[in-house]
Structures are given as structure tokens and as C-alpha cells.
Amino acid sequence: MSKGTGECSNRAVAPNTHTFHLSIGECAVTLEDVALILGLPTDGLPVTGMTMSSFEALEAECLHQFGVALRKSDCRGSCIKLTWLRDLKENLHLTGEIGIQRYVKCHIMLLIGTILFGDKSGAGVHWKFLPLLREFGSIIQYSWGSACLAHLYRALCWASRVDCKEIDGPLTLLLGWAWIRLPYLSPVPREPRSGEIGSVVTDDIDI
């Protein structure tokens, strides 16, 4: 995260309203921003449900959804290690509908653990999300955008505390929003020098 964005989230956010109080006025990340920046659905079923209470239940769920039972060493507390999901995704065979669905579910779990609901470790994804992927055709029916925004609000509330030095949550959403809505926080592109990749060629070229 850029220094300016970090200071913005730490000093100006109001936890009671989840809004930024800046010199230019009051602003907030909205569901519209989530839909535009991340392309997530903001209408539909709530992202909620039962959390598996034992490793045996998680093992059975992975066996049912991925055809592979993970080991305890593939977990970190209540999280599935992202390395296990990445290895599984790379070794899946996309030869039929079941294989394709397993591949997509792995990809979704990786997105959940990194972009949408990531934690400070960046090493795992909570297994509470796995049952939501059980019915492949119902995944799109959940309001993932609403849940992502709620997670961001919670992360900002924690980050606004005086004793907090880190922030987690959907930082891609926060940075994208800040750079679009607050352009003075966005990185200033450097003009490429002559000969660099990306420099503009002004000479006429015969094709």
C-alpha cells in the first residue's frame, strides 16, 4: 500500500460510519465501487452459513469437492494453506466437466484468500468459505461484493485504532478506489526515456 493511502486509512476513517473525512469532504467505498473495480455481484444470497467444526469434516469436504483429502500439515489453524490449493490447481486434469469445476473452485478459493478476504499472513484461506462452493451453479447467486465490502469496512475499523500498525482485507479494492476517487494519491507515471520499453516512437514507419 502507498504511504499516502495508508495514512488516509489510518487517520481519516470514521469507524462509526465507515467513511473517510478528508479536507475535500466526506467519501466512502460503496457497492457501486465494488462492482466496477472487482466485477463482483452485489445482489443475491448472503455469504453466510455453517462453519465446519472439525478437521475430519474439512477432510471430507475437500474429498467431495476436489477429489483429494488434504493433510493436517496442509492447514494453518482454521485456514487451508494457499500453497496446497496452488499445487492442486496446477495438477488438476481439465478433461471433463468435473475437472473443470474443481479447477474453478480452486481458483475461487485462491481469490478469496488473496484478493477478497485475505488476512495479514497472506498464506491461507479460511475453510468456512468452502461449503459455499459445494453447489457449482449456485456460486454466482451469492452477493460476494457485499461480503467483500463488509470485510473492508471491518478491516478499516481495526486499522483506524491507534495501536494498529497493519491492515488486511481487500486492499486491491481499497487501492483501486483511492486511485480512482482520490487521484492525488495515485502513483505519478514516469515519462519513459528514449530507448526504453514503452517509449513512444514518433518516426514514420513503412509497414
DSSP letter for 13, please: E
- What pLDDT is stored for residue 78 in this prediction? 87
Q: Is the dihedral of CA 157, 78, 117, 31 positive or negative?
A: negative
- pLDDT tens sequence for the chain (207 residues): 444 444 444 456 666 666 777 777 778 899 999 999 999 999 999 999 888 778 999 999 999 999 999 999 999 888 999 999 999 999 998 989 999 999 999 999 999 999 999 888 889 999 999 999 999 999 999 999 999 999 999 888 887 777 878 888 899 999 999 898 888 777 877 676 666 555 444 444 444
Number of H helices and number of E strands within the chain?
7, 6
- What pLDDT is stored for residue 14 in this prediction? 62
Exposure class string for 55-93: b at 16+ Cβ within 10 A, else e: eeebbebbeebbeeebeeebbeeebbbbebbeebbeebe
Helices (H), 39-120: 55-66, 82-91, 97-111
Report d(CA 193, CA 27) in Å as an integer: 37
- What pLDDT is stored for residue 197 in this prediction? 55
- What pLDDT is stored for residue 50 in this prediction? 80
- What pLDDT is stored for residue 162 in this prediction? 78
> Do 62 and 85 form a contact (C-beta atoms < 8 A)?
no
- What pLDDT is stored for residue 47 in this prediction? 94
Residue in this structure with the C-alpha cell 513512444, named with its chain if needed: 200
DSSP letter for 22, please: E
- What pLDDT is stored for residue 15 in this prediction? 61
- What pLDDT is stored for residue 19 in this prediction? 72
- What pLDDT is stored for residue 3 in this prediction? 47
- What pLDDT is stored for residue 7 in this prediction? 47
Report d(CA 152, CA 41) in Å as an integer: 16
Report d(CA 71, CA 64) in Å as an integer: 15
